[in-house]
Each structure stands twice: as C-alpha cells, then as structure tokens.
Amino acid sequence: MQTPLSSLDRKILLLLQHNADLSAAEIAEKVELSQSPCWRRIHRMQEDGVIERKVALLNPKKLGLGMTVFVNIKLSAHGRNNLAEFEAAIVGYAEVLECHTMAGESDYLLKVVAKDIDHYERFLRDHLLQRPHVQEAHSHIAMSEVKRTTELPLD
Amino acid sequence: MQTPLSSLDRKILLLLQHNADLSAAEIAEKVELSQSPCWRRIHRMQEDGVIERKVALLNPKKLGLGMTVFVNIKLSAHGRNNLAEFEAAIVGYAEVLECHTMAGESDYLLKVVAKDIDHYERFLRDHLLQRPHVQEAHSHIAMSEVKRTTELPLD
DNA sequence: TGTGAAAAGGCGCAAAC
DNA sequence: GTTTGCGCCTTTTCACA
C-alpha cells in the first residue's frame, strides 16, 4: 500500500509542508529532478495519504483570536463508559483545535482558541462544562507563542 | 492597514483554510461572487497577512511519527533572566511543533512529536534537559487523537 | 465595490524515448 | 528517470457599471 519514502521524497515533503504554492516544476528544480517524476511522486504521496491535504494557514491574531488555552479534562468514572458521546461533541466545537486522549491524571487535553477571556469563559461554562460526565476541567492559559508550525520533522 | 473582514471574506477564508487547492474561480462560485472581486479579496487578505501561507499537511502516522508529547518546562530563577537563549534553541528543534509561554506553574508548554518512546527519550535527555537553566520537565504522553485541525473558528 | 471578457503563460498530465 | 508537447485552466489585468 505505501511505498517507503526515499530521501528525494522527503526533500519534496519538506518543501511542500513549508509552502504548498510551489508547483511541481519549482519543486523539481529545487530537488534537482525533472518535472514529470517529481509530479508523479507528489501525486503518489497524495494517494497514499502521506500528504493529507493543502490548507491555508490564517493568522489568529489578525482574526481577533488572541487567546490559546490548554484544558485538561477528567471524566467521571461513569462517563468513561461512553467516550464516544463526549468525543463527538468535542469534534463539533470549532473553538477546539486539538483533542488528545492522555495517559495519566487527565483523560483529555484540549487546545482551545478564543477571542479573549470572556469568550473563553463562555465557551467553558456554557459548552464544555455542560457536557455530562465532565468531572474536572483545568485551564492553562498560553501567554505568548514562541513557536508554532505544522511542519513535521522528517530527519 | 487592515480592512475589517466582511462576511464574504469569512466565507472565503473558511473554504481556503479547509482546502487550499481551490482556485479563485471555484471559490467565487461557492460564495456566489464573480471571479475578479473574489481574487482581489483573496489577494488582499494575503497582503494583509490574514492568510499567512499555504502548506501541505502531512500524516504523522504514515511518516512513523506515532507519538505526541506535551512537555511542561520550568526554568530556574536564574534562567528566567535569559529567556531568549532558551527560546532560540526551542525554535531550532524540528521535533518541537509548538512552544507557548504559560501563565501558572510552568514557564513553557511544548508540543513534541517523535517516532516512539525511545526517540522521545533521547530527545528529552540529550537535548531538552541539556539546556542550561531547565529545572523541571514534565512529559504528558498523548495516546490517541480525537481532533486535529488547523482551521480557526470564524464565528 | 461588482461584472464580464480576454491575454498570456503556466501547469497538469500523458506519451515516447 | 528524461524530454517533449498539448490543451486546459488560472492567474492577472483591462474597461465598464
């Protein structure tokens, strides 16, 4: 199903995950390959799902989304029998960018964006805490961003 | 400098942050606008920095990056006088996808990806913990991913 | 601001080497 | 993997409402 990646493929991915506007021709040039095989490699990696999609990254500050909060969620023992319900709700919240199930004290770690404290508090109180079986929610507020990237390390 | 966003702009952004392969013409059609003004809006939002860039999102699992770890870092009192050094180092680590300065107990929250526990442990021991002034590092391992998106909520 | 049209060039894609 | 090529589509810019 999925061909192992050559170092050429890795170079291509490195470029594409930094700038998806690059055309196959431009990439071909940078990796010193001719156009067609380069195009075919890109295409194959898309089919294989190595490249999931191309997206525009927006600037949260310029959209008034100045606030990032990490929330640790703990469900009640009872709620743990019905994770699907909670998870489905989470996926539906646009404010939640990430949700991970965690090993350790809390069940979930959420990354939430909001305009400001008010907006966040409303989201927490009116939505998150309204979910049945949510026992604890600890919010950790991010103050500034040192690094933010979607680029994965490809050795 | 930055024109406020109309609801039309928001629709365009919504589409673009979901799929950056859409051409101006396709977007125009979806938002029921003709091609030229749609193109102009997109262009303007790029200039304004509302659209930061377009990138390819890769599948971490398929690249063997099965592990996500959140790390809380606490610096020594002394180290807090020289944050820039620490932060510059962090930005340089490909394994670190995000780094936030936090209000509260820890100074930083890092999101780190790795192939497996071994890989992560090496990164922690040989790199993170080698940084001067790192007093504590608490690792929280993510087990599975319920949600992961780069799409910001645009009301 | 929006509309419609139009030029030019690039790009995806495939075929032949 | 390479070079070539065709045709479409996209971007970009007009003049005009």
Measure the CA angle with vertex A52, ends B109 and A146; round to 5°.
20
pLDDT for A7-36, tens place per residue? 999 999 999 999 999 999 999 999 999 999
Report pTM.
0.95
- Residue at token pair 């350790």: A104
Task: Give residue A2's pLDDT.
Answer: 64
Task: Give residue B43's pLDDT.
Answer: 97
Task: Give residue A83's pLDDT.
Answer: 94
Cα-to-chain-centroid distance, residue A5? 23
Region A47-62: what's the mean pLDDT?
Answer: 97
pLDDT for B101-128, tens place per residue? 999 999 999 999 999 999 999 999 999 9
Angle of helix A7-16 relative to helix A35-47, nearest 10 degrees, comes to 80
d(CA A73, CA A108): 5
In eight-state DSSP terms, residue A135 is: E
Closest approach of chain B CAs to the CA of A86, in angstroms? 10
Closest approach of chain A CAs to the CA of B99, in angstroms? 5
Spatial neighbors of B86 by CB under 8 A, at least 6 apart, are B75, B79, B108, B131, B133, B134
List chain B residues with pLDDT less than 50.
none
Task: Give residue B2's pLDDT.
Answer: 67
d(CA B69, CA B35): 44
Q: HSE on the CB side for A145, CA within 13 Å?
A: 14
- Residue at token pair 């340089």: B92
Asked if pLDDT for residue A78 goes beyond 70, the answer is yes
Task: Give residue A67's pLDDT.
Answer: 97
Domains for chain A: give ranges and CATH numbers: 7-47 (1.10.10.10), 61-141 (3.30.70.920)
Task: Give residue B136's pLDDT.
Answer: 96
Distance C15 C1' – A53 CA (angstroms): 29
Asked if pLDDT for residue A1 goes beyond 60, the answer is no
Which chain B residues are closer than 8 Å to A146 by Cβ? 87, 90-91, 99-101, 108
* Strand C proximal to B23 Cβ, under 7 A: no
d(CA A57, CA A67): 17
Task: Give residue B131's pLDDT.
Answer: 96
Cα-to-chain-centroid distance, residue A153? 15
